[in-house]
Amino acid sequence: MAMLTIPSNENGTVYDPTLNDVIVTAISSSPFGFEDVFLYSHGWSTDADRALVDYDVFSIGLMRRILQEPQKPPLPPRSTLEMGVHWPSEITEDPNSPLNALQLATFFQMEQRADAVGQNLVYSMLRLALQAQHAPNLRFCLLGHSFGCKVICAALQDLQTDIAGGTIVVPPGTTWKVILLEPATDWDNLEESDIYGNVGKIVDLRLLMTKSGLDQCLTKWYPDASRIANFFHGAQPTPALGAQGPTPATVTYFGGAADLSVDVGFAMSAAAAESNPKLVVADLTPVHTARAQSQPPAYDGGICGSHSDIFFDEIYNLVAGFAYS
């Protein structure tokens, strides 16, 4: 396993000209020849230091659970290249800057920025990996949190456009696992005619999304932001995907969905058992409720509830069981 952290500017541009060669070398050449690609994207209001820590914590937690689990997932990790994207999701990287007090006012700017980073940086990384693939059966696992889910979906949206147009060739046996943790995007964005409608068209793709009734960012603040955006149009606020789950039209488009309830003690095998549906919706409300009763919600002192509470064993079991089955 190797970890590659990739920084970008607000447009998803990387100024290091050697990055392309690094990715190509890792995927296509000995002694590496990675067979799995695991890509992370953080969400809104995450500086570079926090992103690096979060990626390391999640990776170690995930691998620890897989190694400790007596009943291993059906398709355990192989030689893996991990790529963590850091995109400028804050006003400034200086935690002591007075400008950070204005962070809440950047919601719509960062929402658009997440799409730009996905369409440019992550799209390019995935395209490079496909072009450099040295053998069939490469497995992609793409994981986003909050606005990071927009990063992932925007990249896949444009990738599928080029796959359908014949400008990108997907080697035989390529598979895609997409994991959206508390996605901060509209609940209808994955419908066939909406902004990420191409995601459901990618061959051999399965998608796991989570939702939580204790996610105050998405159950309360996201609809408030939507209400502001639609103030002059008179439209009703749009629910967030990570609060409400997918629309019925999305479920129909994906050919149905499996529903999981994640409570304390949730086992890896419970996620691995749902190996057929293209769409899996996991409700984190039970485990978030138990954790909120025993300790303060992570990171934010309760302002956003359990939105960033994703670093614990039940989440790792959910992700591992889904990703490697």
- The 10s digit of each residue's pLDDT in 226-282 is 776 554 455 677 899 999 999 999 999 999 999 999 999 999 999 998 878 999 999
Highest mean pLDDT (candidates 84-93, 126-135, 239-248): 239-248
Q: Is the peptide bond before 77 cis (omega within 30 degrees of 0)?
A: no
- The residue with tokens 């990675």 is 34
In the prediction, which pLDDT does 215 show? 95
The whole-number average pLDDT for the span 101-117 is 90
Mean pLDDT of the chain: 90
> Distance between CA 125 and CA 20 in Å, rounded?
8
Give the SS3 label for residue 180: strand
- Which of the residue ranges 134-143, 151-160, 308-317 would you say has the lowest mean pLDDT? 134-143
What stretches of the chain show up as alpha helix (H) in DSSP?
A: 19-28, 48-68, 107-117, 123-132, 148-165, 216, 222-229, 241-244, 248-253, 268-272, 285-294, 313-323
**pLDDT tier at 325 (50, 70, 90 boundaries)?**
very high
DSSP 8-state class, residue 239: P
Chain centre to alpha carbon of residue 154: 11
In the prediction, which pLDDT does 231 show? 46
pTM metric for this prediction: 0.94
> Distance between CA 184 and CA 205 in Å, rounded?
21
pLDDT digits (tens, 9 = 90+) for 150-159: 999 999 999 9
The answer for residues whose C-beta is within 8 angstroms of residue 274's C-beta and 6 or more apart is: 258, 260, 280, 322, 325
In the prediction, which pLDDT does 304 show? 86
> Distance between CA 100 and CA 288 in Å, rounded?
28
- Short-list 96, 58, 46, CA closest to 316: 58
**pLDDT tier at 58 (50, 70, 90 boundaries)?**
very high
> Distance between CA 94 and CA 48 in Å, rounded?
10
The answer for residues whose C-beta is within 8 angstroms of residue 309's C-beta and 6 or more apart is: 288, 291, 292, 297, 298, 299
Q: In angstroms, how far is the first alpha carbon of the chain from the final one?
A: 19
In the prediction, which pLDDT does 37 show? 93
- Which of the residue ranges 70-84, 95-109, 231-245 would you say has the lowest mean pLDDT? 231-245
Is 191's pLDDT higher than 50?
yes
- Which of the residue ranges 74-78, 113-117, 134-138 would you say has the lowest mean pLDDT? 134-138
**pLDDT tier at 302 (50, 70, 90 boundaries)?**
low
In the prediction, which pLDDT does 234 show? 54
